[in-house]
Amino acid sequence: MGTNQVRIKFLEEYEELFNEFWRNIVFYGGRGSGKSQHVALALILRGRQKQLRILCTRELQNTIADSVHKLLSDIINNNGFTDYEITDKIIRNTITGTEFFFKGLRHNSTEIKSTEGIDIAWVEEAQSISESSLKLLVPTVRKPGSQLIYTFNRMNELDPVYVRYCKTERARTYVRKVNYDVLERAGLFPVELREEMEADKSASLDLYAHVWLGEPVAQGDNAILSRQAILGAMERTVNDEGAVEVGVDVARMGTDRTIFKMRKGLRDVRMKSYTKLRTTEVCDKLELFVDHDKTVLIKVDDTGVGGGVTDEMIRRGYKVMPINFGAKASDPDKYPNLISEAWFYLASIIETISIEMDDDLLMELSSRQWKMDSKGRRAVESKDDYKKRGFRSPDKADALIMCFYNNAIGPFEYTPEATSNAFGGGITSGLLNSRF
């Protein structure tokens, strides 16, 4: 390593870039988060420690100017790393022998496929990488201990790199979403970028969501909730006067999450997420979530394993409303089932409520679709169909919908008769007083 000692400020959000355990490292999100700068700096620093062969690539690279060559060069020059020599084609460390080289995937497939000894491949602007390019690149980077690093801002709902690494669990893979708040918390978000961000936000919440929050560029025409309306609810602060109610979406083992969502009045105030909890453990956590307050109305997705939570919480003396999303809607002329009615009820009140800012929730609420059924009713796509499109289970959205759905059905009287009617077949039409 060179004799010059340089003090480097490196944000903790990006520290896993130095962890050689990971096969895949993925950072995605909006502009102004420092993704590319931190990857470049980490690779330069790692290249000063030992010899590495680093491929810097993207889907299309017509000239070296299209690559991260300039970014790497600027960091090297600004920090006085004189142990690197920079040419118009490669960047090389004169002490360790580390070499950075730059190639586009689409027009150099044969050359890249035959490249040996790659230690690290960094794919910048990875939202543009095609499925065929991924299939080419991944097996090419096959040296023991080699790594693939991806940085991107999503373009579409199902960009191949997002589906491959962010939507499914993959061994030795680190995934993190980062937005401008990462730099903001560190006091490193430039005034100039803040001015641009505020201008985009004023012009269009959809533009703001894509550029600065890393959300896909557009929704389908048959989305139930517009991203702009959801962001409006996440930006809005409303009075929290009113009863406390909780929505519970229950999972057991596997990758699905058990989600608790609490609202007070029209304000979403708290959320907890758990995985791999047994029924009694869910109930223990739920008691803590409501501070053992047995006056709080708890609405539980009563299908599947949720039925056990309903029974146990009632046994413990809590006020529980079982909800079966597959049950008959209160207005069967408009909706084929309760889940469709509940989603469209949320759409009807979205302009009046306040929701906590949450990237996962924004994605889940904005990506669920609907269609007309054979009877001309608005039907929300099934959870199975939603997951077949590449999305994970919309657990946070379902918990939020249950949290607010009581407004749609009017006051609920907790009586043994009402509870008994609700079991198995969901909330009966006699308990519903829809305002659709």
pTM comes to 0.61
The predicted structure's pLDDT at residue 219: 65
Q: How far apart are CA 428 and CA 377, in angstroms?
A: 19
Q: Mean per-residue pLDDT for 242-265?
A: 88
Name the 3-class secondary structure at 123: strand
Q: What percentage of the chain exceeds 90 in pLDDT?
A: 58
Return the ∠ at Cα 99 (arms to 97 and 102), rounded to 5°. 170
The predicted structure's pLDDT at residue 142: 92
Q: How many CB atoms lie within 10 A of CB 98?
A: 24
Q: What percentage of the chain exceeds 70 in pLDDT?
A: 87
Output the CATH code of domain 220-431: 3.30.420.240
The predicted structure's pLDDT at residue 415: 43
Environment class of 265 (CB within 10 Å of its CB; exposed 0-12, middle 13-18, buried 19+): middle
Question: What are the tens digits of pLDDT across the range 14-46?
Answer: 999 999 999 999 999 999 999 999 999 999 999
Kindly state which CATH superfamily the domain 12-178 is placed in.
P-loop containing nucleotide triphosphate hydrolases (3.40.50.300)
Question: What are the tens digits of pLDDT across the range 129-174?
Answer: 888 889 889 999 999 999 999 999 988 777 889 989 988 789 999 9
Average pLDDT, the chain: 86
Running DSSP on this structure, what letter comes out for residue 354? B
The predicted structure's pLDDT at residue 90: 93
Q: Mean per-residue pLDDT for 53-79?
A: 87
Query: Domain segments of the chain: what residues?
Result: 12-178, 220-431
Tokens 């997420």 -> residue: 273
Measured CA distances, 310 to 131, 298, 374, 419 (Å): 44, 9, 34, 10
Q: How far apart are CA 297 and CA 144, in angstroms?
A: 55
Question: What are the tens digits of pLDDT across the range 404-432?
Answer: 986 444 334 444 444 433 333 333 322 33
- Identify which has the larger pLDDT, 71 or 5: 71
